[in-house]
Amino acid sequence: MTSPHIATIVLAEKSADLMQAAMQAVSAIDDLKILSDNRVFEFQTSPTTKQEALLTALQDRNISADICVQPADGRKKSLLICDMDSTLIGQECIDELADFAGVKSRVSEITERAMRGEIDFEGALIERVGLLKDLDISVLETCFKTRIVLNKGAATLCRTMKANGAKTVIVSGGFTFFTEKVAAACGFEAHHANVLLENDRKLTGDVQRPILGRDAKRERLEEYSQSLGGAQSAIAIGDGANDLAMIKAAGLGVAFYAKPAVAAASHCAINYTDLTTALYFQGYSDKDFVSA
């Protein structure tokens, strides 16, 4: 016998009317629970229920929502593993650094292609870092302070899972200079990223090897989840092609405002709401949230 499934519906906007309409559209009857007033609900559904079918039912009534259908058992994860750039923060750090170096358009174009999976991540990183050669180290600090903004829900997601005993880790193809600060700001226990090499307070235009890319992200997921019962115990969140392997491997892989290739490979997607939706998908409700 297959275990029952749970469907979680997170509306793009808070509305009593839309909530009623959404419940009707997806026939939410069994074991219905409200996770956030007039915005988020979950209900029990058959294992044969297709996520796409529910999404279509909502779209047919012009209701925008992020949804997830998954087995009821094991929904609350014991490992949170997150990408940083364009996931926990709204920016791509390397693009912002490139702006200070006067090479933003060239670098952004390479970033975009790499995140779409059109070009090899490692080669693309080496090429872009090379364009930052001789940039003063102080620019990194200025860049963090003036350009980098946490995405909504980043700290709440991390702190809530941590308060519930989960391990929390950032794995980024970006740079340790930034992951360290973002980890501290959100409360992540660990962070992994690439190390920008410097000499005499200037970037050398190179990064430490081996480069942390797609496979390394999945490997970190496997390492951290090993003592927690395996990859099934993890929720992985990311937006880019280098997140694909960890998103596929995780018990719950979430595409966050992701490139099409990433969205297609994930279990579910966040396209309308914020990072707290990753908590609702695990069954947490507003009253469970820990924000500071």
Stretch that binds Mg ion, among 44-52, 123-131, 193-201, 232-240 (CB under 5 A): 232-240
Residue from the set 153, 187, 240, 251 that interacts with Mg ion by CB under 5 A: 240
Q: Which two tokens stand for residue 272?
A: 């309308």
Residue from the set 86, 111, 266, 282 that interacts with Mg ion by CB under 5 A: 86
Phi, psi (deg, nearest 5) at residue 274: -110, -175
The residue to which tokens 């999945």 are assigned: 218
Which is nearer to Mg ion, 90 or 130 (by Cβ)?
A: 90
User: Minimal distance in Å, beta carbon 55 to Mg ion?
Assistant: 24
Q: Which two tokens stand for residue 89?
A: 């923060």
Q: How far is CA 101 from CA 17, 138, 172, in A?
A: 50, 12, 22
Q: Which residue among 30, 37, 66, 83 is the active-site one?
A: 83
For residue 60, indicate whether it is catalytic.
Answer: no
Which is nearer to Mg ion, 87 or 276 (by Cβ)?
A: 87
Stretch that binds Mg ion, among 2-10, 39-47, 127-135, 233-241 (CB under 5 A): 233-241
- Residue 8: which of 66, 50, 52 has the closest Cα? 66
Which is nearer to Mg ion, 155 or 247 (by Cβ)?
A: 247
The residue to which tokens 């490992």 are assigned: 79
- Cα 32–chain centre separation: 27
* Binding residues for Mg ion restricted to 34-73, rule: CB under 5 A: none
Residues in the chain: 292
Does residue 83 bind Mg ion (CB under 5 A)? yes
List, edge to edge, every strand of the sheet that includes 65-71: 33-36, 40-45, 5-11, 65-71
Instruction: Specify the amino acid at residue 76.
Output: K
For residue 85, indicate whether it is catalytic.
Answer: yes
Which is nearer to Mg ion, 96 or 239 (by Cβ)?
A: 239
Q: Which residue among 17, 73, 85, 206 is the active-site one?
A: 85
Residues labelled catalytic: 83, 85
Give the interface with Mg ion as residue ranges (CB under 5 A): 83, 85-87, 239-240
